[in-house]
Chain A
């Protein structure tokens, strides 16, 4: 199935550092979502973006919906050990009967205390 290109594939950082990851697509999405998944668990929604150019924060997390509607990025400031996990972007095209989410390839984040 289709997937969104997400980069970087993995990041190994020190506690306190800022993190940036992005997601790109060859086609337009009307909604961008960012999820975090921890081992053995389902994804948990972090931020939802509904409008091109929108910048939204959730605590130390900030995400933006690209103006072209073909990309999005997620920033995490002052990382802490509990930020460890896999971060997925997901895109949604409105319209159609199913409104399926298309997931990115994921970014594995490891934070060293």
Chain B
């Protein structure tokens, strides 16, 4: 089945530094990848949609200069949290779409970011 690998699984960084999270589709090509943020005991909130070779589309209220997304190939998208602050601490999850009808929406295992 389709596998999406997300790395790292956990990261602790100092306030003011930047952190990069990678999302790879291992056995399929993903023209579209999605980045979500999840706070404790809450649902997944879509941050942005990443299309290979073009600029990401950000959801309302998500700062594109803070959450930089790059989708350089059909198997890799990255999310960089720039100048991280403690309020950016959260669980970040990516998903990759193989097809249009939902069966291709495979999720990564998530990244727990803690900013100290």
Q: For residue A10, which residue of chain B has the nearest CB?
A: B41
> In the complex, are the beta carbons of B101 and A45 less than 8 A apart?
no
Contact B105 A42 (CB under 8 A): no
By size class, the interface of chain B is 20 to 34
Chain B residue contacts of A90, Cβ below 8 A: 102, 105
Q: Are A43 and B107 within 8 A (Cβ)?
A: yes
* Residue numbers in B under 8 Å from A99 (CB-CB): 32, 97, 100
Instruction: Say which one of B64-72, B80-88, B108-116 lies at the interface with A.
Output: B108-116
Chain A: interface size category: 20 to 34
Ordered by A's residue number, 19 sampled pairs between the chains whose C-beta atoms are within 8 Å are A1-B60, A33-B105, A40-B9, A40-B110, A41-B109, A41-B110, A42-B95, A42-B107, A42-B108, A43-B44, A45-B103, A90-B102, A92-B101, A92-B105, A98-B57, A100-B46, A103-B43, A105-B43, A106-B42
Residues of B within 8 A of A (CB): 4, 6, 9, 32, 34, 41-46, 49, 51, 57, 59-60, 91, 93, 95, 97, 100-103, 105-110, 112
